[in-house]
Amino acid sequence: MTSPLAGLKVLDMSRVLAGPFAGRMLCDLGADVVKLEPPEGDITRLWGASVNGVSGYFNQQNAGKRGLCVDLSLPEGVELVRALAAVADVLVENFRPDVMGRLGLSYEVLSAINPRLVMLSISGFGADGPESRRAAYAPIIHAESGIMDRQARSADSHPVDMALSIADTNASLHGLVGLLSALYLRERTGRGQHVDIAMIDATLVTDDHVHYALDEAFDIKPMPNEVWETAGGLMIIAGDFRFIWRRLVEHCGVLDPTPDGASLGEKIAARRAAARNFFLHTCVDRAAVIGALDRMNLAWGDVRTSSEALNLPTVAHRGTFAEVDDRAGGVRKVTQSPYRFSDARSEVRGGAPHQGEHNDAVLDDWLQPDSEDRARWRSALLKEKMTPRT
C-alpha cells in the first residue's frame, strides 16, 4: 500500500501546535515534512517528559518529521528558506501575519519564485483586519469566541480555560482541508494558493451552538448533558434531563414523586431526586446501571482519567497509539495517525527530530547544492547539542 501524500515536500516553519499538528498529519499521510526551527528552538521542546533530549509535547506534534535549524536573522538563512520554498509543494507557518513579510518570505515573494507553492498561514485573527496583529494562543480564542463563558454558565462556575487546545486543533484541521483543496485545485490550474486560516473563524464555524446566538434563541436551547453518580461510577448520559426522565418512567417504572400542587421548582427537584436514587440505589451495581441505560436506549460514557483512556478496548483494537524508536535504546509511545484507508497507508513514521538533525540530509535531498552554496548556507545552519534537557 502506498501513502496518499508520498513525494509531497512540506516546509514546516510553524511553532507550538496549530501549525505543527497540520504538519504532523501531512507527515503521517506520507509527505516529506521538514521542521524548520530557529536557533532557540520550538518552545515545546521544554514541555513534557524528556527522552534523549526530546520532550513529550514536541514528540507528539512533530513525530516523523526531519529537523532543519536555520538562523533567519542572517541573510544566508533567508536565502536558504527561499531556495527550499522554490522546490517545496507546501509551506506551513503560524507567525503573526506581518512576520513572514518582514523576513522577506511573504507569499508574494515565494510564489514569484515557485508559482505552484501552497502556503498555509494560521493566525489568531486572520491575515488582515483590525485585530490581525494581536498575539493569539488557544486560550485567547476560547475566551473571545464565547465558548469559555458558555462552559462556565453550563457548570455554574467561574470561567476557566479548557484543558485542551480546541482553537489550535480546529484551526489546524481546517487548515489541512484548505491546503489539500488547494493542492487538488493545483492539479487543474498549475498554480498554488495562499490559504489564510484565522483561529477565531475556525472556532466559530466549528461551534455547533453558535446558531443560538445568531438567532437570539437562547430560550429554546436544550439542557446540557450531565454527569451522574451511579452504582457503576460517574457516568455522563446523553440527553437533557426532561428526555431522560420520560425514559425512566416509560422503560424503568420510575414513579413520579411530585406532590399535588407542587411548583415547577419543586417538581424538578423531586424528579431529579428520584432519578439519582434510581441510578445510585435501585440499580445495585454497574451491570444493572448499564442494563437500564440500554433499555432506555440512552448513550452513556464513563468519566475516565486520561491514563485510563489509554487502555480502552477500542483504543487497543484500533492501534490509537504506536511505539517509535526513542534513539536511547528503547521505545516511547506516541499518538498514531487517525486515518484508516481501505487501500492506502497512513502511520507515524518515527520520533521527532533533534534540532537541526537533518540539516545536511535535507539540503542534499531537496537542493543538491554545489560546494559554493553549501559553504554560504553553512553559517546559517545550526545543530542542537545532544544534551537532554531537565
How many whole angstroms separate alpha carbon 162 and alpha carbon 287?
A: 32
**Residues 235, 301: contact at Cβ < 8 Å?**
yes
Nearest to 390 by CA among 39, 69, 55: 55
Q: What is the DSSP string of 321-367?
A: EEEEE-SSSSEEEEEPP----SS------S-PPPTTTTHHHHIIIII
Of 168, 196, 219, 285, catalytic = 168
In order, the DSSP letters of 11-66 are: EE---TTHHHHHHHHHHHTT-EEEEEE-TT--GGGGSS-EETTEEHHHHHHHTT-E
Q: What are phi and psi of 174, to 5 degrees?
A: -65, -35
Distance, in Å, from the CA atom of 114 to the CA atom of 98, rounded to the nearest integer, reads 21
State which amino acid sits at residue 32: D
Burial label, 103 (beta-carbon count in 10 A; 0-12, 13-18, 19+): middle
Q: What is the DSSP letter of 285?
A: S
DSSP structure string for 216-272: T-GGGPPPPPEEEEETTEEEEESS-HHHHHHHHHHHH-PPP-PPTT--HHHHHHHHH
- CA gap 354, 109 in Å, rounded: 30
List C-alpha distances in Å: 112 to 127, 368, 377: 19, 21, 22
CB 304 within 8 A of CB 311: no
Report how far apart the first and last C-alpha atoms of the chain are (Å, whole number).
Answer: 41
How far is it, in rounded angstroms, from Cα 101 to Cα 109?
9
Let me know if 168 is a catalytic residue: yes
Question: Which residues are known catalytic residues?
Answer: 168
